[in-house]
A and B are shown apart, each in its own frame.
Chain A
């Protein structure tokens, strides 16, 4: 139990540090693919606690309004959930399309809502900005697919526990 808590805290620290690094470097959020990957691999209560704590700390770290990242995550997660009602999960390429759109929505929401909450003015969306968001979403989706493939090859899903 203690080891699990320590591993979780260390993982949380790593996610926060990498989030800060990649957001500064290319405005890429490492947290959103991690959150989506853990979504179907973790008990929902633990996922909720971990996501809330992680987004709370990231908001403070990046000087966003507290709660804005969690709001974007929850909306994009609900989009992911809804898309998976119509898209089959077991197919290799098609099953990652919902991830792409959900992550894209996360970036768009963050661009729009962050200035709105902080300064009461909607954020500006440009075509170049959207293209950048789409590229980041593709990278994040590829990351999710690689990790899922590695995990599924590493051990069978029924045995997956830590």
Chain B
């Protein structure tokens, strides 16, 4: 019944089915853009997100296995180096533990803990194209569209879509990403703000523009996000490839991210105004 061979009818009607599929796709896109499918999507993600999580985890495990197999000789060398380093770190760790305890006590004393936000640990599931990542937290965990993804004090991206169990995060390298930033001097002794600027994604990397010509910004200076959508004081990266056109009124360059987005395993979703 489902696989019958009525070839004459097919030839007559296959064009019609393609046309109808085209029209239906436009209708779905229109309904999606005005948000009429949002509730339906949430319902379906209850069923499909576990399928996605299971299959993508299996696929990532296979991918990691083959990547390991290809690079096994490198890993062997790295393993030997790391054995030596671990011994050194164990010694250092004792000293750091003491500093950590001191830091904790000082924070409590000065009440520096940031109580406006709750941070939700999320595992990176996959990279979609080059501009997005998916993580294993969603509406059920309290993540909503517009939440900010961070790692430490570094900016990772903005949540642009949420399912029940999964969220999609747009990385700064995306061409749709526009952020206001300020540039801070990298010198230890002089960490003042040098200039305001705007960053946007491009196919060549994260582009930074509108840097004041006379601000004294140099390659290696630190780019800090200061955007109404994101908040303040999240580090994006350092400036590289700064333009040197003396006729221009502003300078531009690229930002070398402080994080390698393709090696991320865990990130934190900052949930605003957590109850």
Contact = CB atoms under 8 A, between A and B. Distances in A.
Interface of A: 1, 4, 7-8, 13, 16-18, 20-22, 24-25, 38-48, 51-52, 55-57, 60-63, 65-68, 70-71, 73-75, 77-78, 81, 111, 114-115, 117-121, 123-124, 126, 157-158, 160-162
B37 A160 contact: no
A42 B18 contact: no
A24 B5 contact: no
Interface residues of B, number: 59
Contacts of B25: 55, 67-68, 70-71, 73-74
B41 A66 contact: yes
A24 B59 contact: yes
A136 to B, nearest CB: 14
B266 interface: no
8 contacts: A8-B2, A22-B59, A45-B13, A48-B24, A67-B25, A67-B31, A70-B28, A118-B161
Dominant SS among interface residues on chain A: helix
Dominant SS among interface residues on chain B: helix
- Identify the 5 closest CB pairs spanning chains A and B, nearest first: A67-B28, A119-B176, A71-B25, A24-B59, A70-B25
Contact of B5 (A44, A60, A67, A160): A160
Interface string B144-178: 00000000000000001101001010100011100
Contact of B2 (A46, A52, A60, A65): A46
A100 B87 CA distance: 56
Contacts of A81: 14-15, 18
Interface string B42-69: 0011001101100110111011000000
Contact of A71 (B13, B16, B29): B29
B21 interface: yes
A124 B128 CA distance: 13
Contacts of A68: 25, 29
B22 interface: yes
B18 A78 contact: yes
B149 to A, nearest CB: 15
Contact of A20 (B31, B55, B131, B161): B55
A120 B196 CA distance: 26
A73 B21 contact: yes
A60 B29 contact: no
Which among B3, B7, B15, B21 has the greatest number of chain A C-beta atoms within 10 A? Answer: B21
Given A70-B28, A162-B1, A121 B175 contact: yes
Contacts of A119: 160, 170, 174-176
Interface string B191-207: 00000000000010000
A48 B20 contact: yes
Nearest to A161: B4
A24 B55 contact: yes
Contacts of B228: none
Contacts of B111: none
Nearest to B4: A161
A60 B3 contact: no
A44 B14 contact: yes
Interface string B245-266: 0000000000000000000000
B126 interface: yes
B24 A63 contact: no
B185 interface: no
A120 B5 CA distance: 42
B27 interface: yes
A61 B166 CA distance: 10
A17 B51 contact: yes
Nearest to B53: A20
B210 interface: no
B124 to A, nearest CB: 12
A62 B29 contact: no
